[in-house]
Amino acid sequence: MSDWIQPGHLFSQHSLNTYLRCQRRFQLTYIERQPWPMPEEEDPRAYQQYLERGTILHHWLVRRHLGIDMEPIVAACEDEELRRWWRAAQEFDDSALPGAEGGGVREAELPVVVSLGEYSLYARYDYVAIGSGVGQTRVGDPRPDVDAVILDWKTLERVPSLRVLRQRVQTRVYLYSLVTAGHVLTGGAPLDPERVEMWYWFANYPEETARIAYSRAAYREDEAWLRALVVEIATRPQDAFALTDDHRECRRCHYRTLCDRAAKGAPGADALDGEDWLQEEIDLAIDMELSLDADVPALEY
The minimum distance between CB 26 and ligand SF4, in angstroms, equals 8
- What is the crossing angle of helices 216-234 and 169-186, to 10°? 110
Fill in the DSSP letter of residue 142. Answer: S
Closest CA to 197 of 179, 185, 181, 221: 179
Contact 125, 110 (CB under 8 A): yes
**Cβ count near 46 (within 10 Å):** 10
For residues 36 and 92, which CB has a smaller minimum distance to ligand SF4 in the complex? 36
Among 11, 12, 19, 25, binds ligand SF4 (CB under 6 A): 25
- Residues 6 or more apart whose CB falls under 8 angstroms from that of 141 comprise 98, 99, 100, 101, 131
Q: Does 2 bind ligand SF4 (CB under 6 A)?
A: no
d(CA 198, CA 168): 11
- Pick the piece of the chain touching ligand SF4 (CB under 6 A) from 18-26, 76-84, 136-144, 223-231: 18-26
For residues 153 and 277, which CB has a smaller minimum distance to ligand SF4 in the complex? 277
For residues 22 and 100, which CB has a smaller minimum distance to ligand SF4 in the complex? 22
Q: How many residues interact with ligand SF4 (rule CB under 6 A)?
A: 13
Among 5, 13, 15, 24, binds ligand SF4 (CB under 6 A): 24
Contact 146, 196 (CB under 8 A): yes
The minimum distance between CB 249 and ligand SF4, in angstroms, equals 4
Q: Which of residues 242-301 bind ligand SF4 (CB under 6 A)?
A: 243-244, 249-250, 253, 255-256, 259, 261
Residues that bind ligand SF4 (CB under 6 A): 22, 24-25, 28, 243-244, 249-250, 253, 255-256, 259, 261
